[in-house]
A and B are shown apart, each in its own frame.
Chain A
């Protein structure tokens, strides 16, 4: 048996243990040392994931214990989550969360990343569920870490309750799937669905609803989104960014695996696709399609009324989950490529947005939009970075968010669902309103006239620049990234198990 696929997981595990040991031995007096160890573990895991020779499509059967599979997808998502963890730790070094014991924080982030790494490789329903829990549980603690803060505690409790219920629903749904498949592997599930007898049963729809409900909680899709605004607002900004990016990506990789197994290479395009709203890809696709439309619309409409930056970003991230679900609805190889591409853009935009929000909150002690007033004059660089990120989130050129949206809607149109695309595009217009409200606070409303010029530390400045420059750079020259995403998506047959 070839154990190389789990090298990143092993490195992360060693990292977790090393952080605990160093923290215990040093009695928490060397925060930089523990941080260094954690960052090293993440960098190592990402590097070895990239350097691993990935399996060829024909070798699909070679997996670790039959449950963990190494393919382009797992590599990409492992790197994705390691980068997110890396950025989150760096963003927290100077932030509010680090005032609490640093070692615990690092261990929790590393554990969550470990869970995501395993989730990205899972091709078995039981392994998938276990990895899913390994992602969720550190998340609950991360949110509630600021013990003295009542809002943080409230957020933690909400998160745990919602999480526990959705986990139970997911588990029940998965158990039904196992029953249909006659085995726990995704390949078995795929064969059972391809057999045709399964999908006609009424219980199949119940199973699909329940499984999707579990994932919908993770990707914060309507109607399982209620936790997100409270949790993001209660958590430190960097942790909120981690949940918004890594946790959501984990939900999507799991969805890609399951949808791939259930639907096959692509949903058939209906002959009347031009006027049809949803593809006819069976129960799961219909459920995801309805959720996609609801998620983006509800997310955008609810965000209109927000006055607190983290809550606003939470609703915005719900809306973005809706756009991504749109791609699962029109499922095809190109759609998966567009999904990957969008997730990369989403990573930069949201990590940058939460980082900037964190800096402002640290400075002003409040995340209300009114606290942003006058920043346009107090710190030109910070406000400019904010403007770029917000325009990119809206999907305006020449920023990365536009390229991602262009490819997204191109695929939706290509599959023939013009109406779905138009709903999504109009949603983008709605989103402009609340992003512009942030800009309006930054630039159009005058703050206290005697507010001093605010200086960013070199660390913060460099950090912001590193996140914002790709948004502009990849917004102007994105063909390379897109071709790479297409190349990764060519591994789709492998993801679905060879049939």
Chain B
């Protein structure tokens, strides 16, 4: 029973239960299902062989035989350290978000059903090893997200939901174009098989890559890259993110920032880079420049925000810039740091959005300028918020610090050292906007309205149940980085980095 299929389709069972049972049970079912998913994920993690190369827990089943190739499209799932670490993150963040969803009152049945469908889609993306299956999960994830923002969102939810949907679909069709080209030329739907072909092409000095034509490879890579970059989101494809975040309800923002943004980075690491290593090398400079713009520009824009949630949203843009920066460096350290950034940002950003949610539930607005002196009213909340802020800006002891330092070391070792130095500026600005926000929201004088203890109680037990686990994991990852790094380093060290190195040698000839 302990299989990836169980893991992925467990939420679907929960969703059907939600549909059948009365709506007052929906939230309990959601939490129970998410908890069960986390348990299954952890059990799989324990049973995973840490030394084995390649994908584990593989499952094959004939699905659409004879489409394009003889075997056709398969139900093919499997997992390696990269996928496993993100599956664990997904299950964990989803459970905290499910707890945070406790007080959703509008159409709870529909909400929790969509939530669980989203969970299936997200888990599916990280375990799918068939390109068609991957794409199906990739898109299936969009539909519940669209409804979650559109029905349960804030006042401008219609605009935000359609903008989110249009941006990501635009990315998706470019991804689809890339997938069709790959399948057309390689006659294979299997991700490991195409990766192997790319490796062979590079090893035999074939500059044409998997598509047999370097220009076509470059076009396909750019298409796929944009497809994933929209999800990251990378400058200049990031503008959907602040709108979606501001309008989405708190738990959905947590999922959006904590998990959905990781899909882009995962796609780059799993598909775009290994399939087209030469094109990735060729685009390295452009990607690095865009990443640095995202880091610095994102941080500056965050500083200019007056809306608490928008500020956090732009900080995500800035932080996700490190992911693409680390990748574009194409060193083992850089990619390692990028991966760690995704995991660290997953828990920290979920925590930050919960922090915003807590105060929004009480004050019903998010204007930073209207807050002040909350530290004296809600001391426990203040402590949690300042910890989250400090970990996000890279305080040693939190996972963000490890992620940033590893990424920087990697980026320095890479070909674009100057850009890495400019990116350092982003950290300073990040510190500036977090400290300024901390001061304006929590310190200074408390306006009269917030002194009402009845209206502004300190964090409740339910909120603590969301925030504390996230905090614990963040600190753990900040102190013991090896747990996660040992889990996922296999693919990076043995497959991706050698591939990219050979490709850049091939390009230099």
A residues sitting closer than 8 Å to B (CB atoms) are 274, 376-377, 391, 394, 396-398, 402, 406, 409-410, 413-414, 418, 421-422, 425-426, 428-429, 432-433, 436-437, 439-440, 443-445, 477-479, 482-483
- List, sorted by A's number, 12 A–B pairs whose CB atoms are closer than 8 Å: A396-B169, A397-B135, A397-B139, A406-B176, A413-B180, A422-B177, A426-B173, A428-B169, A444-B157, A479-B63, A479-B67, A483-B66
Please name all residues of chain A whose beta carbon is closer than 8 Å to the beta carbon of B143 when the two chains form the complex: 391, 396
Across the interface, name the chain B residue whose C-beta is closest to A398.
B136
11 new A-B contacts, CB < 8 A, other than A376-B151, A479-B67, are: A274-B215, A406-B176, A406-B180, A410-B68, A422-B177, A437-B162, A443-B151, A444-B151, A444-B161, A478-B64, A482-B67
In the complex, are the beta carbons of B162 and A410 less than 8 A apart?
no
Query: Known interface pairs A397-B135, A444-B150, A444-B151. Does A479 touch B173 (Cβ–Cβ under 8 Å)?
Result: no
B301 at the interface (CB under 8 A from A): no
Which residue from A376, A409, A478 sits with its C-beta under 8 Å from B180? Answer: A409
Which residue from A274, A394, A440 sits with its C-beta under 8 Å from B162? Answer: A440
B58 at the interface (CB under 8 A from A): no
Across the interface, name the chain A residue whose C-beta is closest to B67.
A479
Which residue from B140, B158, B173, B219 sits with its C-beta under 8 Å from A445? Answer: B158
Please name all residues of chain A whose beta carbon is closer than 8 Å to the beta carbon of B68 when the two chains form the complex: 410
Across the interface, name the chain A residue whose C-beta is closest to B135.
A397
Across the interface, name the chain A residue whose C-beta is closest to B215.
A274
Please name all residues of chain B whose beta carbon is closer than 8 Å to the beta carbon of A397 when the two chains form the complex: 135-136, 139-140
Query: Interface majority SS on A: helix, strand, loop or mixed?
Result: helix
In the complex, are the beta carbons of A429 and B177 less than 8 A apart?
no
In the complex, are the beta carbons of B140 and A398 less than 8 A apart?
yes
Which residue from B73, B107, B151, B170 sits with its C-beta under 8 Å from A426? Answer: B170
Please name all residues of chain B whose beta carbon is closer than 8 Å to the beta carbon of A394 when the two chains form the complex: 169
In the complex, are the beta carbons of A418 and B219 less than 8 A apart?
yes
In the complex, are the beta carbons of B64 and A479 less than 8 A apart?
yes
Complex CA gap A432/B167 in Å reads 11
Please name all residues of chain A whose beta carbon is closer than 8 Å to the beta carbon of B39 when the two chains form the complex: none
Please name all residues of chain B whose beta carbon is closer than 8 Å to the beta carbon of A274 when the two chains form the complex: 213, 215-216
Please name all residues of chain B whose beta carbon is closer than 8 Å to the beta carbon of A377 when the two chains form the complex: 107
B236 at the interface (CB under 8 A from A): no
Shortest C-beta distance, A369 to chain B (Å), equals 12
Query: Known interface pairs A413-B181, A436-B162, A443-B147. Does A429 touch B170 (Cβ–Cβ under 8 Å)?
Result: yes
In the complex, are the beta carbons of B72 and A440 less than 8 A apart?
no
Across the interface, name the chain A residue whose C-beta is closest to B107.
A377
B369 at the interface (CB under 8 A from A): no
Complex CA gap A376/B68 in Å reads 39
Shortest C-beta distance, B9 to chain A (Å), equals 14
Please name all residues of chain B whose beta carbon is closer than 8 Å to the beta carbon of A421 when the two chains form the complex: 177, 180
Complex CA gap A494/B100 in Å reads 64
Across the interface, name the chain B residue whose C-beta is closest to A432.
B169
Shortest C-beta distance, A211 to chain B (Å), equals 32
Query: Known interface pairs A397-B135, A398-B140, A440-B158. Does A479 touch B166 (Cβ–Cβ under 8 Å)?
Result: no
In the complex, are the beta carbons of A425 and B177 less than 8 A apart?
yes
Complex CA gap A479/B142 in Å reads 24
Complex CA gap A356/B16 in Å reads 25
Please name all residues of chain A whose beta carbon is closer than 8 Å to the beta carbon of B66 when the two chains form the complex: 479, 483
Query: Interface majority SS on B: helix, strand, loop or mixed?
Result: helix
Complex CA gap A445/B155 in Å reads 11
Complex CA gap A81/B176 in Å reads 33
Across the interface, name the chain B residue whose C-beta is closest to A479.
B64
Complex CA gap A121/B136 in Å reads 39
Chain B, residues 73-107, CB within 8 Å of chain A (1/0): the string is 10000000000000000000000000000000001
Complex CA gap A445/B68 in Å reads 43
Chain B, residues 137-158, CB within 8 Å of chain A (1/0): the string is 0011011001100110000011
Complex CA gap A483/B65 in Å reads 10
Which residue from A402, A433, A477 sits with its C-beta under 8 Å from B64? Answer: A477
Query: Known interface pairs A440-B162, A477-B64. Does A425 touch B216 (Cβ–Cβ under 8 Å)?
Result: no
Across the interface, name the chain A residue whose C-beta is closest to B179.
A406
Which residue from A396, A410, A440 sits with its C-beta under 8 Å from B139? Answer: A396
In the complex, are the beta carbons of A432 and B151 less than 8 A apart?
no
Shortest C-beta distance, B403 to chain A (Å), equals 33
B residues sitting closer than 8 Å to A (CB atoms) are 63-68, 72-73, 107, 135-136, 139-140, 142-143, 146-147, 150-151, 157-158, 161-162, 165-166, 169-170, 173-174, 176-177, 180-181, 183-184, 213, 215-216, 219
Shortest C-beta distance, A416 to chain B (Å), equals 10
Complex CA gap A432/B162 in Å reads 9
Please name all residues of chain B whose beta carbon is closer than 8 Å to the beta carbon of A418 when the two chains form the complex: 177, 181, 216, 219
Most buried by A among B66, B147, B173: B173
Complex CA gap A273/B198 in Å reads 24
Complex CA gap A477/B72 in Å reads 12
Please name all residues of chain B whose beta carbon is closer than 8 Å to the beta carbon of A439 when the two chains form the complex: 150
In the complex, are the beta carbons of B184 and A414 less than 8 A apart?
yes
Complex CA gap A428/B72 in Å reads 25
Please name all residues of chain B whose beta carbon is closer than 8 Å to the beta carbon of A425 when the two chains form the complex: 173-174, 176-177
Complex CA gap A409/B184 in Å reads 11
Please name all residues of chain A whose beta carbon is closer than 8 Å to the beta carbon of B151 when the two chains form the complex: 376, 443-444
Shortest C-beta distance, A80 to chain B (Å), equals 23
Shortest C-beta distance, B247 to chain A (Å), equals 11
Shortest C-beta distance, A458 to chain B (Å), equals 21
Please name all residues of chain A whose beta carbon is closer than 8 Å to the beta carbon of B136 when the two chains form the complex: 397-398
Shortest C-beta distance, A490 to chain B (Å), equals 15
In the complex, are the beta carbons of B173 and A429 less than 8 A apart?
yes
Across the interface, name the chain B residue whose C-beta is closest to A421.
B177
Please name all residues of chain A whose beta carbon is closer than 8 Å to the beta carbon of B184 when the two chains form the complex: 410, 413-414
Please name all residues of chain B whose beta carbon is closer than 8 Å to the beta carbon of A409 when the two chains form the complex: 176-177, 180
Please name all residues of chain A whose beta carbon is closer than 8 Å to the beta carbon of B177 when the two chains form the complex: 409, 413, 418, 421-422, 425
Please name all residues of chain B whose beta carbon is closer than 8 Å to the beta carbon of A440 when the two chains form the complex: 150, 158, 161-162
Across the interface, name the chain A residue whose C-beta is closest to B109.
A380
In the complex, are the beta carbons of B150 and A443 less than 8 A apart?
yes
Shortest C-beta distance, A428 to chain B (Å), equals 6
Complex CA gap A445/B66 in Å reads 44
Shortest C-beta distance, B99 to chain A (Å), equals 26
In the complex, are the beta carbons of B140 and A432 less than 8 A apart?
no
In the complex, are the beta carbons of B165 and A436 less than 8 A apart?
yes
Please name all residues of chain A whose beta carbon is closer than 8 Å to the beta carbon of B166 when the two chains form the complex: 429, 432-433
Query: Known interface pairs A413-B184, A444-B150, A444-B157. Does A433 touch B173 (Cβ–Cβ under 8 Å)?
Result: no
Complex CA gap A38/B208 in Å reads 61
Complex CA gap A426/B175 in Å reads 11
In the complex, are the beta carbons of B139 and A428 less than 8 A apart?
no
Most buried by B among A397, A437, A440: A397
Complex CA gap A414/B182 in Å reads 11
Please name all residues of chain B whose beta carbon is closer than 8 Å to the beta carbon of A479 when the two chains form the complex: 63-67, 72-73
Complex CA gap A254/B463 in Å reads 66
Across the interface, name the chain A residue whose C-beta is closest to B153.
A444
Most buried by B among A377, A443, A444: A444
Across the interface, name the chain A residue whose C-beta is closest to B176.
A425
Across the interface, name the chain A residue whose C-beta is closest to B65.
A479
Shortest C-beta distance, B263 to chain A (Å), equals 15
Across the interface, name the chain B residue whose C-beta is closest to A377.
B107
Across the interface, name the chain B residue whose C-beta is closest to A397.
B136
In the complex, are the beta carbons of A428 and B173 less than 8 A apart?
yes
Please name all residues of chain A whose beta carbon is closer than 8 Å to the beta carbon of B176 when the two chains form the complex: 406, 409, 425
Shortest C-beta distance, B5 to chain A (Å), equals 15
In the complex, are the beta carbons of A429 and B169 less than 8 A apart?
yes
Complex CA gap A462/B293 in Å reads 56
Please name all residues of chain A whose beta carbon is closer than 8 Å to the beta carbon of B219 when the two chains form the complex: 418
Complex CA gap A414/B180 in Å reads 9
Most buried by B among A394, A440, A483: A440
Across the interface, name the chain B residue whose C-beta is closest to A426.
B173
Across the interface, name the chain B residue whose C-beta is closest to A394.
B169
Complex CA gap A444/B136 in Å reads 25
Please name all residues of chain A whose beta carbon is closer than 8 Å to the beta carbon of B64 when the two chains form the complex: 477-479
Shortest C-beta distance, B399 to chain A (Å), equals 34
Shortest C-beta distance, A227 to chain B (Å), equals 30
Please name all residues of chain B whose beta carbon is closer than 8 Å to the beta carbon of A437 when the two chains form the complex: 162
Please name all residues of chain A whose beta carbon is closer than 8 Å to the beta carbon of B174 when the two chains form the complex: 425
